[in-house]
Amino acid sequence: MSEQAGRWTMDVALELCRRALAEGRQRGLAVLTAAVLDSGGHLMALLRSDGSSLLRPQIAVGKAWGVLAMGFGGREIARRAGLQPAFYAALSDLSAGHMIPVAGGVLVRDAQGTLLGAIGVTGDTSDNDEVCAVAAIRALGLVADTGSAT
């Protein structure tokens, strides 16, 4: 783990956002927006690519907030939402719309498994958003928890 990532700071949060957006550019994806929350659900950093659409910041925060609220990654939230749509509709209501049940919200853990926070990425397909989030997390020597067993 890099020395910078050993501490959960605003600089680490900003770097996660920067790297997620850079990964999207490198892959030729649509413009992205990334948000990083601390483990208590507080916004630490949000970066929006030029040309990103109006609701992208709220979607990025919602993806990150939802994985923190449920305790597992967006891929698992999406799977469960497909099995229990009424329950996840109720969760959306309870959370004032902050629950976004798709891939692209990823829990961030340190090497010991301690939850540090979450990143939400949006702008392309949910699968591509997740790829960018995971790449950013791994680039800083942290552990990505997407909610997928693979």
Confirm whether 134 is domain-assigned: yes
Confirm whether 32 is domain-assigned: yes
For residue 124, the enclosing domain spans 4-145
Q: 7-45 pLDDT, tens per residue?
A: 789 999 999 999 999 999 999 999 999 999 999 999 999
Q: 89-132 pLDDT, tens per residue?
A: 899 889 888 888 899 999 999 999 999 999 999 999 999 999 99
Which pLDDT value is given to residue 6?
Answer: 56
- CA-based nearest residue to 69, from 120, 15, 18: 120
Total domains in the fold of the chain: 1
Confirm whether 150 is domain-assigned: no
Which residues are CB-contacts of 77 (< 8 A; sequence separation ≥ 6)?
66, 67, 70, 88, 99, 101, 102, 105, 147
The CATH number of residue 118's host domain is 3.30.450.150
Which pLDDT value is given to residue 5?
Answer: 45
Which pLDDT value is given to residue 15?
Answer: 98
Which pLDDT value is given to residue 148?
Answer: 76
Confirm whether 72 is domain-assigned: yes
Which pLDDT value is given to residue 84?
Answer: 94
Confirm whether 10 is domain-assigned: yes
Which residues are CB-contacts of 49 (< 8 A; sequence separation ≥ 6)?
21, 24, 25, 31, 32, 33, 123
Which pLDDT value is given to residue 96?
Answer: 87
Confirm whether 53 is domain-assigned: yes
